[in-house]
Amino acid sequence: MLQRNLLELNLGSFFGILYNPAVGILSVAGFFNVYALTNQMNVEEFFNQGLNKNLQGDYEEAIANYTQVIKLNPNCAEAYYNRGSILSHERKDYRAAIEDFDQAIKISPHFAEAYSNRGNARYFLEDYQEAITDYNQALEINPNLAEAYQSRGSAYFALGDFHEAILDYQQAIQMNPQLATYLNSSLANAYHQRGLALCNQGDYQGAIEDFNQALLLNPNLVGVYSNRGTVRQVLGDHQGAIADQNQALQKDPNLIEAYHNRGNAYYGLGDYEQAIADYNRAISMNPSFASAYYNRGLVHSHLKNYQGAIADFNQAIQLNPNDEQAYYHRGLIRADLGDYPTAISDYNQALQLNPYLALVYGFRANARRQLGDYQAAMTDCNQLLQLHPYFAQGYCDRGAIRRHLGDYQGAIADYNQALEINSNFVEAYYGRAIVRDALKDFHGALVDYNHVLKRDANFFQAYCNRGNVRLSLGDNTGAIADYNQALELNPNFLEAYYNRGSTHYTLEDYQGAIEDYTHALQINPNSAAIYSDRGNARYALEDYQGAIADYNQAIAIDPSCAEDWYNRGRSHFQLGNLKKALEDLNQALRHQPVWAAAYVIRADIYSTLGESQKAIADFQKSADLYHKEGNLPYYQQILDLVKQLRE
């Protein structure tokens, strides 16, 4: 937060420039030749009395004397000028002063000082443009009028044109070095304010140069140290920022903003404890300091102290209900906590305050996607990209939404657009690879995963996915190599153990498969599928007891899986446990009544038990199912078995 440290501008010294004929500034004879000598002497007497009364501080009498001069000589421009100066400077009656300056200028159109002082009166009425017009006229008449440069500089300052203000202040000092005594403060303040303006324009180096110049002119401008520190922080010079805030606090230990800004610098350095300490100090000095709560909330969020962060954002919002950033940062935390509905509520509030917050549409899109509201998420992504058409992440997020909606071609188009904007965008290559895999474009998917891993060699999920693609292409060795790499990066990666185990099984390396499935079960002991697959590997090694133990676990976790009943049944059959085998096959067919292979196994059991008719019925049922499936060789083999049984 940039702190503005405005100094009061002093134009008062320019209102006391009175014309004094006694010192030769005014040639009385030249101005009063229309009067008789007695009147002329009366005019000169009243004029001089006006000067003396002004010097004595008797402004009422001075005004009365100048008024008398004007009555005796209505063409005395200097009397109007001096009376106007007193009205403006002492009485602060700027409108009446302007009327006198108008009259002086009407009588004497080349009266430079009258233009300058009328400009001063207009300045104090905040009519800065007209004041500048008067100063310009004064300087056209008298280019050496240093006071007009000073006053015009102040008018430019008031209009926020700090560059012109600085030029005028410098010109005034060059022409009259004595002005430097009190103009340096105004000049320093102009550099300060121009520095702030440059900062708002993003010219941070230019801002620092101006702040440096301000401090050379006036080393006691505390706010300049703090603001220079803030700009240094923006430029990443956190140590320099802390040094400046320390300097500000050394000069003013009660400068609350300096504690706050130093906290920001410590945050940038990763010194979160010190950052929080400074925010705490700022808040203790000003419990209504909304920005301090907000920034402390950011630190708490970074430290994953989510409840503390939410409490700070709540306080920031209570103090400043229009703080759009506090709303959407609170929404981000709530999303991280899985509270997507309230996160969306916060994003809604931020967008209501500022509908042009492009990234917040993206945040809300992600929250809606988590809730399965893909159409609303799509709308948000469209809005984001309308506001920010070159935002690669927006296209990538929309591609992910289209992928979930099954619009694979639309997803690829979005990923392509993201990569056109940023050819090194890992997430876009990764998303496109997933879509190409789903479209069975395995070669295209492989190319994309190669791009991903070239740019991020630690992306273990990408190794696993590339292994799956290589498996689909028949490259079992390459698949295992990728699963190995994934597990080297993440030794607790269940999916890689499971997929490598399945690959070992395909390669008939059943022992290797068992080892991988065992690792997977150590990570997730509640997976029926992994117990089932390990049971299959043990069955292949003729370890029927081990297979039965695994099928028991699988059935205990999920008793609805027909395949586990079937596999345990045939394992019992291999061990001669015909009764248990029959019970399991009955269960398998109860869950899956159109399973030809299960009828064949149960027929074998019936045949072994000597129940020929039941065996024939099951064989016939399996033959019918094979025929419906179009598996004519099996159909014929089963018919031959039935024929043999009947003979």
**Amino acid 170: pLDDT:** 84
DSSP string, 530-551: HHHHHHHHHHHTT-HHHHHHHH
Interatomic CA distance for residues 327 and 126, integer angstroms: 39
Confidence of residue 13 (pLDDT cuts 50, 70, 90): very low
**Amino acid 157: pLDDT:** 86
Interatomic CA distance for residues 548 and 371, integer angstroms: 40
User: 200-252: per-residue pLDDT in tens?
Assistant: 788 899 889 989 988 998 999 999 999 999 999 999 999 999 999 999 999 99
Least confident of 171-180, 402-411, 484-493: 171-180
Mean pLDDT taken over the chain = 91
The CA–CA distances, whole Å, from 67 to 47, 71, 73 equal: 9, 6, 10
Interatomic CA distance for residues 236 and 43, integer angstroms: 70
Residues near 113 by beta carbon (within 8 Å), at least 6 away in sequence: 17, 81, 138, 145
**Amino acid 29: pLDDT:** 27
Confidence of residue 21 (pLDDT cuts 50, 70, 90): very low
Task: Average the pLDDT over 450-457 and give the result.
Answer: 98
3-class SS of residue 437: helix
User: 594-624: per-residue pLDDT in tens?
Assistant: 999 999 999 999 999 999 999 999 999 999 9
* Amino acid sitting at position 383: Q
% of the chain surpassing 90 pLDDT: 82
Comparing 164 with 490, which gets the higher pLDDT?
A: 490
Alpha helices in 422-543 (DSSP H): 426-438, 442-455, 460-472, 476-489, 494-506, 510-523, 528-540
% of the chain surpassing 70 pLDDT: 94
Give which of 569, 561, 509, 508 is closest to 532, Cα–Cα: 561
Interatomic CA distance for residues 62 and 49, integer angstroms: 7
Same CATH fold, 526-586 and 457-524?
yes
Task: Average the pLDDT over 314-340 and give the result.
Answer: 97
Tokens read off for 279: 């925010």
**Amino acid 40: pLDDT:** 57
pLDDT at 439 exceeding the cut of 80: yes
The CA–CA distances, whole Å, from 161 to 3, 8, 155, 156, 193 equal: 18, 17, 9, 5, 9
**Amino acid 10: pLDDT:** 29
**Amino acid 26: pLDDT:** 27
Q: Which residues of 71-109 are buried (b: 16+ CB within 10 A; e: fewer)?
A: ebbeebbbbbbbbbbbbbbbeebbeebbbbbebbbebbe
User: 244-261: per-residue pLDDT in tens?
Assistant: 999 999 999 999 999 999
Residues near 243 by beta carbon (within 8 Å), at least 6 away in sequence: 229
Task: Average the pLDDT over 307-326 and give the result.
Answer: 97
For residue 357, what is the DSSP state?
-
pLDDT at 4 exceeding the cut of 60: no
Confidence of residue 7 (pLDDT cuts 50, 70, 90): very low
Domain extent listing, the chain: 9-159, 457-524, 526-586, 594-647
* Amino acid sitting at position 305: N
pLDDT at 159 exceeding the cut of 80: yes
CATH of 526-586, one of 3.20.20.70, 1.25.40.10, 3.40.50.970, 1.20.1070.10: 1.25.40.10
pLDDT at 111 exceeding the cut of 50: yes
Least confident of 133-137, 185-189, 413-417: 185-189
Least confident of 145-149, 353-357, 490-494, 535-539: 145-149
pLDDT at 34 exceeding the cut of 50: no
**Amino acid 510: pLDDT:** 97
**Amino acid 379: pLDDT:** 97
In CATH, what number does 457-524 get? Answer: 1.25.40.10
Confidence of residue 553 (pLDDT cuts 50, 70, 90): very high
Residues near 567 by beta carbon (within 8 Å), at least 6 away in sequence: 532, 535, 536, 539, 547, 551
pLDDT at 65 exceeding the cut of 60: yes
Within a 13 Å sphere around the CA of 542, how many CA atoms are in the beta-carbon half? 1
Q: What angle do CA 369, 374, 376 make, to 5 degrees?
A: 100
Tokens read off for 606: 């019936």
Confidence of residue 196 (pLDDT cuts 50, 70, 90): confident
Interatomic CA distance for residues 97 and 302, integer angstroms: 61
* Amino acid sitting at position 473: L
User: 113-122: per-residue pLDDT in tens?
Assistant: 999 999 999 9
**Amino acid 93: pLDDT:** 95
CA end-to-end distance (rounded Å), the chain? 98
Confidence of residue 284 (pLDDT cuts 50, 70, 90): very high
Interatomic CA distance for residues 32 and 47, integer angstroms: 12
Q: Which CATH architecture has domain 9-159?
A: Alpha Horseshoe (1.25)
Give which of 602, 598, 599, 594 is closest to 628, Cα–Cα: 594
Tokens read off for 29: 């004879």
Interatomic CA distance for residues 87 and 95, integer angstroms: 9
3-class SS of residue 228: helix
Q: Could you tell me the pTM of the whole model?
A: 0.71
Confidence of residue 468 (pLDDT cuts 50, 70, 90): very high
Residue 478 burial class via C-beta count within 10 angstroms: exposed 0-12, middle 13-18, buried 19 and up: middle
Interatomic CA distance for residues 259 and 248, integer angstroms: 9
3-class SS of residue 126: coil
pLDDT at 290 exceeding the cut of 70: yes
